[in-house]
Structures are given as C-alpha cells and as structure tokens.
Amino acid sequence: MTTRQLHDTPPGWVNALKSSVEQLAAATLHYDTDDTIAATLDAIAVASNEATLVTLANGLKTAWNAHAAATTVHAAADATNPVAADTATDTASANTLINELKDDFNAHVISTTYHRVRGDREITTADGSNEATGIALANDLQRAVLDHLRNGMQTLPACTVPGAVS
C-alpha cells in the first residue's frame, strides 16, 4: 500500500482496525504481561517427587506473591490474595502451601478489582492431600499461573509509515 493509498483509506477501514484492537485489549486480563516472573517460574521443573514438589511449591509462592503485588500489570496491588503459608519443607507443608495458593489464585483471577476483565481459568484440581495429589495440583498451578502471568497487553512499538506526510 502506498502512502497516498493509506491517506485515502476510507474511515471504515480505520474504524475496523480500531475495533479489532479494542476487542483484543478487552479480552486480556492484565495491562501488561508479567514476563520476568513468568520466566523465573517457567524455569522450575514440574513436580515428580517430594523434593521437586517442595521446590515447585516454594517457587509458586514466590512468583505468586510478586505477581499479586505488581501494580505494573494490575489496576491495584492484590493485598488480599498473596500466599501466607510457611515455606514448604516436606509434602505436608507443600500441600498446605499449594492448597492456599489454589484458593488465592481462584479468588484473584476472577477479580475485576485487579484485572481489566474477569478471568476464566479457575483451578478445579483436587487439593493436595498426599504426594501424588500434591504433585498433580502443583503442576496444574504452574501451568495456570504461567498462563495468567502471560495474559496481558504487550506494549506495542511505535508504528510509522515510511514517506508519510505529517
């Protein structure tokens, strides 16, 4: 498309583009993505035994609490839903931590106090009550939290049309 054609584009085309961008913005939870926290959480291996369950549970707590406090992605910090459970040291304490995180996550993700729209990725996996159920919940939480962290409007770069007349 030439510069002249761009300037002669009917307003309908511009309005359709504007509408598409607005629909995209309306479908995202966050004002921006939480890439740094997501990268840190993504680097933690999925749980497969007690040691990796403890590691993942503690990593989830750290990532989640940092995300809840982030005002760069939320309309306001979420002081209601950070994880307060102690750092995990074994299966029982990991299950306590991730069961609380499940509740905190579910309350946070549906809130329009912090988000642009109500989220729809609530965790329905059974609570952790032993090593196997804890592993299942921790791994599901990792996937869900990562999806949540990455659901945001990226900052769009400036766009210029070469040769455009201002």
* pTM of the model as a whole: 0.74
Q: Can you spell out the DSSP letters for 86-101?
A: PPP-SHHHHHHHHHHH
Q: What's the pLDDT tens digit per position in 39-85?
A: 999 999 999 999 999 999 999 999 999 999 988 888 889 999 999 99
Tell me the C-alpha distance between 30 and 72, whole Å.
9
Closest C-alpha among 82, 115, 78, 126 to residue 101? 82
72: Cα separation from own chain's centroid: 12
Exposure class string for 102-138: b at 16+ Cβ within 10 A, else e:
bebbbebbbbeebbbeebeeebeeeebeebebbbebb
Closest C-alpha among 137, 160, 166, 150 to residue 30? 150
The conformational region for residue 76 under phi > 0 = left, psi -120 to 50 = alpha, else beta, is beta
Q: Which of 4-8, 33-37, 100-104, 160-164 is least confident?
A: 160-164
Q: Domain segments of the chain: what residues?
A: 46-149
Q: What's the pLDDT tens digit per position in 115-152?
A: 766 666 789 999 999 999 999 999 999 999 998 888 76
